[in-house]
Every structure is written in structure tokens, then in C-alpha cells.
Amino acid sequence: MTTALGRGLDAQAAALREERCGLHDRGFETSTLQTWIGEVAGLDQPLPAAWADWDCRNNRLADIGLQQDGFDAAVAAARERHGAARVGVFMGTSTAGVQQTELAYRVLEDGRLPHWFNHRTSQNVYAVADYVRLRLGLGGVCSAISTACSSSAKVFASASRAIATGQCDAAVVGGIDSLCLTTLYGFNALQLISPEVCRPADAHRTGLSIGEAAGFALLEPDRGQAPLRLEGYGESSDAHHMSSPDPDGRGAAAAMGDALRRAGATPDSIGYINLHGTGTQANDLAEDKAVCALFGRNMPCSSTKGWTGHTLGAAGIVEAVFSLLCLRDGFLPRSLNTRQVDPLIESAIVLESRRQPLRRVITNSFGFGGSNCSLVFGTAA
């Protein structure tokens, strides 16, 4: 995984332990918008010449992500085991390569988009999935999912179904979303951007901070040897509002309940919940109602968006990886930047990070339009 915290799992785990925030005041391309941004360093370097047709910020970010933690080597080994045509690719993204289109419109040539702009390999939502497939030398089923902020959580569900039904024997899942002005000013127009650092569940929270990230995982059928497992997934749709969640949290509760059922788990077998926790008024309250309805008021939970910002289409994979790190390390991260919990929030928000052995965790990703996905991860019993 690559986020504003750095490149690779070690950088992410160290930031959680050290409570080091990856958000910075302003940055990227904007100086007129007062906000905090989770920007990944080093994205000014173009892709290698052989991949020049695919060059854009989103694919650069994907390329960096693929090079971390020996992931490309792990995929190569899976390709040898199963065959390239039997390894699928399932990528989540939201804004995809919109920034490349923004750059193209700045330099219109006689009213036309410049010759170097290629929509198919940049802004097209499928572009990053196709790029990842080609970069890894895979020839199996390839899919891009774009359901806003639940995109790269839902890839786990889609890949699991594809493996179960014999469409592939293994799958690369992940998510990539990069910064662009359309996102920043769009969320600002919705009055969801905070002028200060994101403070999930805080009594005085003022909205979200936007970040960018790339993350990947390799899924294979469990042969009884995997130390970390995807045990269940749950999906639901609120159909409540284009950009606001059901205030009673019914869709969120349905997704979490569905994930528990698939995992064969009970609420009291979960040791920690990684909240969607955007830091907006509506999301935090709705999710709190859903958590309390299923788990009661004593379940430890926190949002990790205070570290990375909201990475939109990559949020699902980012928080899946954080959840897996929590399982691996026996660690509960506090809700970074949260100073005073909103008295209307009744969940047990973790305000001080602590060590604690974990058997199962659940992570939530809820997108615009009421697209909800929850994932249960566990360790070998």
C-alpha cells in the first residue's frame, strides 16, 4: 500500500504506532481552497517509456503501489501456479484519471484536446484495471468497480464470488484514486470539506480531508495455511439520497450483518471496527447508530481517515490493509485528531492507541448513493 504516510506496509504500520499524520495544510495544485490534503510524494515522475501511452497521475500511483512489499513477485508466483488466464483483476476507483483531463483542458489546441490526451488509458474508469492487468502480465477476468467510496471494498466481494464460481483461481484486488481539482472543489461545493484537519467523531468536526492512495491484495482459496483471511463480506444499498446516508444507519447495519453471517461470526467475536468515519456530521452519526444497533456501545472502534484523509475509491483497500495490520500486530489505533467525542455518538471510540490481541475485525466502506460494503477479516484459529 502507498498513501500520504509513505510507501509500503512498514511505513503505514510505523505511522499508526507513532501517531504520525499524513495530512498537510493545502498542497497539491490549489492555493485558494483552505483544506488539508493527503498527497502522495513522487507522482511527478512519468511512467517508463514502454508505458507512456498510459501515463497519468492515477496510473503512476498504481505503478508505485504495485512495487511495494514484494507484491509483484507474489503475483508472479501466483501466475506460475495458476496460469495467467486464471488470475483475475478487480480494481476499485472513483475519480480515476480525471486529473489528466483537467490538464488537457488547460492547453486546448484550436479548441481541441491536445494530441497526447488519451481518454481510454487515463480518465476511463476501466483504465487503471487494464493497466494493472497488463503490468502484472495477467489474462484473466478483469473488472473495474466504481461505487464511490465503497469501490475498493466491493472488489473483495466480487473477487470472492468469481473464485467461488470458477471464473478464476486467484485474484488481484485493490483500489487507486488520485487527487484532482474536480474532487477537491466538488466536495467543497457540497460543503463537506473541512478547513482544518479531519477529526472523525469529534464534537466540533467540520468535514473531511481528501487524500490519495493505491493498495493491493492477492486473494487465493484458503488451504488452511493463511495467517490472515477474508472471512466474510456484506453489501447493501440505502437508496436514500444521492450523497447522504440513511440517518438511521439501516443500510450500514445490513452490510455489517451480512458480513457477519457470511463469516459465521457473532458480534461479540469481533474485537475492533475500522469505521468509515469520514468526519462529516451525517456519516458519523448514521454509522454510530448502525454500530450500536449490532454491537452495542462497548465495541472498540475508530476511523483511520485522520492519518490518510478520505481516499475515496481507494478507501476500502486502505482501511482493509489497516485492519489486517491491526490483526497482524495486535494493535488498536486511536481516532487520530479526535479531541472530544460528539456526545451524540455512543460507540466506544478509541481515543488512546493500545496493544490488544485480535481474532476478528470488521471494516466499513460506505459510498455516495448508499452503496455500502463491510468486510470481516480474521486470523487462523
For the annotated catalytic residues, the residue numbers are 149, 276, 310
- Rg of the chain on CA atoms, in Å: 20
Query: Among candidates 66, 67, 94, which has minimal Cα distance to 153?
Result: 94
Q: Give which of 255, 217, 216 is closest to 233, Cα–Cα.
A: 255
Query: How many angstroms from the chain centroid is the CA of residue 304?
Result: 11
CA–CA separation, 283 and 311 (whole Å): 15
> What is the residue-wise DSSP string for 172-195?
EEEEEE---HHHHHHHHHTT-B-S
Do β-strands 36-38 and 210-211 pair in parallel, antiparallel, or remain unpaired? parallel
Q: Are 43 and 57 in contact (CB under 8 A)?
A: yes
Q: Centre a 10 Å sphere on the Cβ of residue 133 and count the other Cβ atoms it contains.
A: 22
The CA distances from residue 25 to 201, 266, 374, in Å, are 20, 42, 31
Distance CA 186, CA 192 (A): 9
Half-sphere exposure of 142 (CA within 13 A, CB side): 18
CA-nearest of 271, 222, 286 to 376 is 271
Question: DSSP characters for 295-345?
Answer: H-S--EEE--HHHH-B-GGGHHHHHHHHHHHHHHHTEE---TT--SB-TT-
